[in-house]
């Protein structure tokens, strides 16, 4: 039977769409139908609530299992926010003419008793759901077929490279032998430089081979050892700043240094890997937790300093409880603990805890709900006033995003911004806020208020493409406002070259640029030198740190003087106390933003405050 025939059979047996679709592909992954139904029911909540179509949930599970970012037996692994899942959702939406919600597809609200009654009486499941299921199957089959082709091509390419490397090595040996016999030493005459062209390919192959050997050895260790097993993952805090200060070559030297140290520290049953950038993984047996901690401290002592540069490391540890768990899951738990350790001020070593799961559950909720949030206008623009200390009046505002969920209520940016920055959905949210800010500026002008600029945030992702310039241009034209009234805030911690290039382009287009979070990184002065900002916003933490001593206040005063001499505007954000206001007034920083004056508020409240 084809996938469509299997799905149709299950649907007619009164299984819901998520079960029917997932069940149609169950055999492909050696999963029995009973397990498939249990898993798809567990993840079909969006459909049962009349929200995201169950076909989407089932399809993303299928893609995850095919591409390796999801395991049907574990609720923790992410299945949203992936490039492939984004590709599926976009194509599904296109083929369904924008319909992604059950209540839209069925034309009835499945959450209500009345809706369920109509759906059942009219037989809407068999009439409406096959369209979504069949489109899903078509997309899945296309994506899986493409994946199979890519895997085959990659395998063939790697085999070809391996053969080419062997041939080149043989040629090199033969050439070297001939050179020795003839007494020649000039490599150019023997055209040996061609071997250097393949160094990069060899490096890639070596990295892949290391990963393969690591996973194979770890798998054997986990399943054969009778001792406890720990996955230790660590990274270097603020590694990007080290690269900024000392250069990327120095950063690479640090990574090689750590690898050499691990080579000397780890025994034959302690496997280590540098999977990416400054992240390292060690898998080891141990007798007691004290022994494990002693080993971690030994590692830390040996790699915490390089050429007089102090390295601060964050360690996440997962002690294996279920040896039947997938290795990826074990690594993920260590990674969760490592990320938690980065934010811990008490210790740099954290063991995995069950509550870390909540982070993944929260992320899943965000990924599942963000499309609906945009469509249902759950995202709202809040405005935080900017004040002049001397005039004691509003001189502008910053546009901020808030997510007001119909069931969960207020969801603050720190809960969802990191997730949507990673998966790229931040673009949609930013575009929405930009449009809302421009519309507010237009409404102010219509009411006779023409001196209240609104600044909006330009996320990191916008600095990597040119689309934002076109979007901004369109928004400005549609609302008929002056460009200088829609100010653009760029965070100073982004890569300098990206900031400089994009900032100059936006500046040439006539936009006013604000450097956000000045003082939160180590490259602030370089960015000031290289980038045409109009206004500098002093970071909240920077101000707090400077306020605790006379020396700090002197530094703050010099920053104000520097900004003035450079012809830059200066605004202090995160101002919360009268003492801060007094100090800022004394040193000549007139523009402020913070809770001392006003919290972020709905548009209507801000407008009332502005008029009052």
Which residues on neighbouring strands pair with residue 80, listed in sequence order? none
Q: If you count them, how many residues does the chain have? A: 612
Task: List, for residues 279-333, the tens digit of each pLDDT value.
Answer: 999 999 999 999 999 999 999 999 999 988 889 899 999 999 888 888 888 888 8
Residue with the two structure tokens 């499945």: 110
Q: Identify the segments of the chain with pLDDT beneath 70.
A: 39-51, 68-83, 150-209, 343, 345, 355-357, 359-361, 422, 460, 463-465, 492-500, 520-531
The C-alpha atoms of residue 54 and residue 10 are separated, in whole angstroms, by: 14
Domains of the chain with bracketed CATH: 3-152 (no CATH), 201-358 (3.30.70.270), 377-611 (3.20.20.450)
Residue 432 sits at φ, ψ, to 5 deg, of -65, -45
Query: Quick one: 605 exposed, middle or buried, by C-beta within 10 A (0-12, 13-18, 19+)?
Result: middle
The C-alpha atoms of residue 493 and residue 487 are separated, in whole angstroms, by: 19
Q: Are 454 and 436 in contact (CB under 8 A)?
A: no
* Tokens (6 digits) for 19: 């079960």
The C-alpha atoms of residue 89 and residue 205 are separated, in whole angstroms, by: 33
Q: What is the pLDDT at residue 140?
A: 92
The C-alpha atoms of residue 285 and residue 287 are separated, in whole angstroms, by: 7
Q: Are 221 and 285 in contact (CB under 8 A)?
A: yes
The C-alpha atoms of residue 495 and residue 505 are separated, in whole angstroms, by: 16
- Sequential DSSP letters for 287-342: SSHHHHHHHHHHHHHHHSEETTEE--EEEEEEE-S-TTS-HHHHHHHHHHHHHHHH
The C-alpha atoms of residue 97 and residue 105 are separated, in whole angstroms, by: 10
The C-alpha atoms of residue 524 and residue 277 are separated, in whole angstroms, by: 24
Residue 270 sits at φ, ψ, to 5 deg, of -120, 105
3-state class of 139 per DSSP? helix
Neighbours of 380 (CB within 10 A): 16
- Least Cα distance to 537 among 555, 559, 506, 553 occurs for 559
Query: How far is the first Cα of the chain from the last one, in angstroms, to the nearest whole number?
Result: 71
Q: Are 15 and 23 in contact (CB under 8 A)?
A: yes
3-state class of 601 per DSSP? strand
The C-alpha atoms of residue 53 and residue 40 are separated, in whole angstroms, by: 12
The C-alpha atoms of residue 491 and residue 600 are separated, in whole angstroms, by: 19
The C-alpha atoms of residue 85 and residue 92 are separated, in whole angstroms, by: 10
Neighbours of 179 (CB within 10 A): 16
- Least Cα distance to 381 among 432, 445, 420, 417 occurs for 432
Three-class SS string for 424-465?
Answer: CCHHHHHHHHHHHHHHHHHHHHHCCCCCCCEEEEECHHHHHC
Task: List, for residues 332-364, the tens digit of each pLDDT value.
Answer: 889 888 988 876 767 899 998 876 667 666 777
Reported pTM: 0.52
Taking each helix axis from N to C terminus, what angle separates 124-182 and 17-26, rounded to the nearest 10 degrees?
A: 40
- Least Cα distance to 64 among 31, 17, 98 occurs for 31
Contact residues for 451 (Cβ-Cβ < 8 A; gap 6+): 395
Q: What is the pLDDT at residue 46?
A: 41
Q: What is the pLDDT at residue 292?
A: 95
Half-sphere exposure of 590 (CA within 13 A, CB side): 10
Q: What is the pLDDT at residue 509?
A: 86
Calculate Rg over the CA atoms of the chain.
29
């Amino acid at each position: 039977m084809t996938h469509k025939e299997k799905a149709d059979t299950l649907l007619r047996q009164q299984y819901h769409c998520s079960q029917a679709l997932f069940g149609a592909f169950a055999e492909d992954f050696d999963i029995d139908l009973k397990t498939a139904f249990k898993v798809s029911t567990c993840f079909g909540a969006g459909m049962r609530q009349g929200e995201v179509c169950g076909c989407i949930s089932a399809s993303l599970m299928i893609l995850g299992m095919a591409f390796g970012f999801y395991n049907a037996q574990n609720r923790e692994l992410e299945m949203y926010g992936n490039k492939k899942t984004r590709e599926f959702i976009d194509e599904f939406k296109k083929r369904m003419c924008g319909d992604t919600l059950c209540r839209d597809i069925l034309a009835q609200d499945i959450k209500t008793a009345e809706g369920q009654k109509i759906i059942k009486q009219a037989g809407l499941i068999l009439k409406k759901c096959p369209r979504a299921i069949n489109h899903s199957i078509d997309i899945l089959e296309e994506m899986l077929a493409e994946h199979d082709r890519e895997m085959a091509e990659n395998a063939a390419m790697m085999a070809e490279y391996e053969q080419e490397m062997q041939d080149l090595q043989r040629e090199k040996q033969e050439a070297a032998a001939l050179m020795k016999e003839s007494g020649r030493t000039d490599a150019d005459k023997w055209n040996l430089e061609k071997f250097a062209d393949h160094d990069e390919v060899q490096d890639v192959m070596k990295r892949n081979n290391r990963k393969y050997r690591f996973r194979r050895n770890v798998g054997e260790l986990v399943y054969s050892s009778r001792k406890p097993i720990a996955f230790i993952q660590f990274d270097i805090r603020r590694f990007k700043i080290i690269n900024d200060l000392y250069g990327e070559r120095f950063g690479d030297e640090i990574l090689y240094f750590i690898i050499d140290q691990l080579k000397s520290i780890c025994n034959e049953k302690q496997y280590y890997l540098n999977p990416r950038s400054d992240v390292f993984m060690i898998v080891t047996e141990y007798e007691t937790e004290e022994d494990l901690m002693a080993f971690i401290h030994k590692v830390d002592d040996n790699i915490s300093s390089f050429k007089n540069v102090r390295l601060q490391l964050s360690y996440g540890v997962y002690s294996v409880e279920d040896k039947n768990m997938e290795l990826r899951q074990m690594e993920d738990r260590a990674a969760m603990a490592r990320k938690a350790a980065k934010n811990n001020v008490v210790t740099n070593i954290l063991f995995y805890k069950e509550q870390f799961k909540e982070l993944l559950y929260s992320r899943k909720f965000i990924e599942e709900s963000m499309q609906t949030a945009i469509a249902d206008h759950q995202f709202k623009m809040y405005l935080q006033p900017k004040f002049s200390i001397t005039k004691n009046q509003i001189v502008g505002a910053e546009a901020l995003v808030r997510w007001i969920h119909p069931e969960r209520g207020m969801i603050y940016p720190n809960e969802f911004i990191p997730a949507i920055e990673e998966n790229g959905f931040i673009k949609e949210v930013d575009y929405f806020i930009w449009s809302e800010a421009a519309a507010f500026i237009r409404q102010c002008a219509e009411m006779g208020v023409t001196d209240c600029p609104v600044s909006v945030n330009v996320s990191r992702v916008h600095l990597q493409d040119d689309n934002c310039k076109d979007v901004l241009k369109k928004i400005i034209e549609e609302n008929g406002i002056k460009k200088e009234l829609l100010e653009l805030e760029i965070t100073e911690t982004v890569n300098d070259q990206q900031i400089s290039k994009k900032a100059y382009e936006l500046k040439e287009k006539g936009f006013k640029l604000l450097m956000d979070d000045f003082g939160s990184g180590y490259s602030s002065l370089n960015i000031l030198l290289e980038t045409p900002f109009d206004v500098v916003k002093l970071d909240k933490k920077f101000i707090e740190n400077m306020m605790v001593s006379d020396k700090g206040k002197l530094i703050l005063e010099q920053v104000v003087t520097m900004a003035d001499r450079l012809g830059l505007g200066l605004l202090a954000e995160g101002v919360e106390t009268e003492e801060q206001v007094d100090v800022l007034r004394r040193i000549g920083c007139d523009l402020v933003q913070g809770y001392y004056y006003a919290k972020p508020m709905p548009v209507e409240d801000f407008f009332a405050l502005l008029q009052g």
